[in-house]
Copies of this chain bind each other. A is one copy, B any other.
Amino acid sequence: MSLPGGAWDGGPAVGDLGEFGLIARIRERIPPAPAASGVVLGPGDDAALLEVPPGWDLVLTCDIQIEDRHFRRRWMSPREAGARAAAVNLSDVAAMGGVPTAALVSLGLPPALPIAAVDAMCEGIVSELGRHGATLAGGNISASDAIILDVTVAGRVERGRALRRSGARPGDTVLVTGHPGRAAAALATLDAAGDLWERLAASGPAPAPAPELRERFRRHLAAPSPRVAVGRFLAENAVASAAIDQSDGLTGDLAHIAEESGVRILLGRSFLPIDPELAALGPLVGVDPLDWVLGASDDYEMIFTAPAGKVDLALALGTALGIAVTPIGAVVAGPPGVDVLDADGAPIAAREGWDHLGRGRAPEGPPRDGRN
């Protein structure tokens, strides 16, 4: 399949350039830090320096991407790998309601990796950060067998406004942006032959030709959009009582909110937003689309709870940003956990979130990360 954003092969390798040559090359490609980022000192010293304005707290998160664990060269371009490594961290800052400002990256690079691929990875990191007002402020490079991109993103949030996992209360409504499950469906179909996409184009709601359909699915996995604007709206307007970004899967991530808030969460099966293309694809590959929607899938959508008086504002946000925002359930008192209920109110067993260290995972299993 064609991967926009550069190739993994060809040209001189990073081992020929050497570490400090490579660092100098990367530094040249970083645009000046935007003033609003608060970066006082960027790359080129022992550490970066950032200004955090009075009245704001620093938001800090890190998440690692390892080749063949979290992505494969076969289905992700170097530029996408870089952008995605930034995006999954920007998503965590978004889930706190923060403004992303600066990032560091630890790069592990096989010495035989082409310099052009590293250029493209760094362009991906820098451009994804830049889309959200943040800048690359430092990092380090090591040789390694597999490609490693470990990005730390810093941001800021008004003191007391951060969206925590622990604030959900009985009576709150549970909402989600976008269409969770797309990434899982994309992963499940990465090796699918062209005829699957032709059958989907024929049977499904999508008007696109087969190659475009296939590429659209691949990008659900390879190019997530962190919901930074959503997080900022929720924080600035005190809309959300709790929030988390969807990186383990809808029920798995909601289980974290349930645990940290000490509440039970009920999801209505009929309320769940199911992407029409997923609904059409499921039967073609023998999968219940609901498994994708509820189970392990890292779409980096925003999952949040809102008190009754704020739900209208949350829905208006979706309209304003052109993003689907769907009420999918309710917070109730009870032992921490998540139940999915069918139309009759009968519980469908809640699925567990992805366990990244579990030994039972399939070799091609969905690459997921967990936070502590």
Contacts A41-B162, A57-B40, A64-B108 given; indicate if A15 touches B49 (C-beta within 8 A).
no
Contacts A46-B92, A58-B50, A58-B52 given; indicate if A63 touches B140 (C-beta within 8 A).
yes
Contacts A104-B152, A141-B357, A162-B41 given; indicate if A48 touches B26 (C-beta within 8 A).
no
- Which chain A residues in 18-74 approach chain B with CB under 8 Å? 18-20, 22-23, 26-27, 40-41, 43-52, 54, 57-64, 66, 69-70
From A142-150, A191-199, A268-276, A338-346, the one touching the partner chain is A142-150
A357 x B143 contact (CB < 8 A): yes
Contacts A51-B58, A69-B143, A356-B141 given; indicate if A372 touches B43 (C-beta within 8 A).
yes
A306 at the interface (CB under 8 A from B): no
Contacts A44-B372, A144-B66 given; indicate if A49 touches B59 (C-beta within 8 A).
yes
Of A47, A54, A369, chain B has the most CB atoms within 10 Å of the CB of: A47
Residues of B within 8 A of A22 (CB): 357
A359 at the interface (CB under 8 A from B): yes
Residues of B within 8 A of A27 (CB): 372
A157 x B59 contact (CB < 8 A): no
Write the A218-260 contact mask toward B (1 if CB under 8 angstroms, else 0): 0000000000000000000000000111000000000000001
Contacts A61-B48, A92-B46, A111-B359 given; indicate if A146 touches B143 (C-beta within 8 A).
no
A372 x B141 contact (CB < 8 A): yes
Write the A159-197 contact mask toward B (1 if CB under 8 angstroms, else 0): 100101110000000000000000000000000000000
Residues of B within 8 A of A114 (CB): none
A355 at the interface (CB under 8 A from B): yes
Q: Which residue of B lies closest to A40 (CB)?
A: B57
A45 x B359 contact (CB < 8 A): no
18 further A-B pairs in the complex, CB-CB below 8 A; given A40-B159, A62-B106, A139-B371:
A19-B370, A20-B355, A23-B372, A26-B372, A27-B372, A46-B61, A46-B95, A46-B244, A47-B155, A48-B61, A49-B96, A50-B60, A58-B154, A61-B104, A64-B106, A106-B150, A140-B369, A143-B357
A201 at the interface (CB under 8 A from B): no
Show the binding face of A for B, using Cβ within 8 Å: 14-20, 22-23, 26-27, 40-41, 43-52, 54, 57-64, 66, 69-70, 92-93, 95-96, 98, 102, 104-106, 108-109, 111, 137-146, 148, 150, 152, 154-155, 157, 159, 162, 164-166, 243-245, 260, 353, 355-359, 369-372
Kindly report how many copies of this chain are found in the complex they form together. 2
Q: Which residue of B lies closest to A22 (CB)?
A: B357
Q: Which residue of B lies closest to A24 (CB)?
A: B372
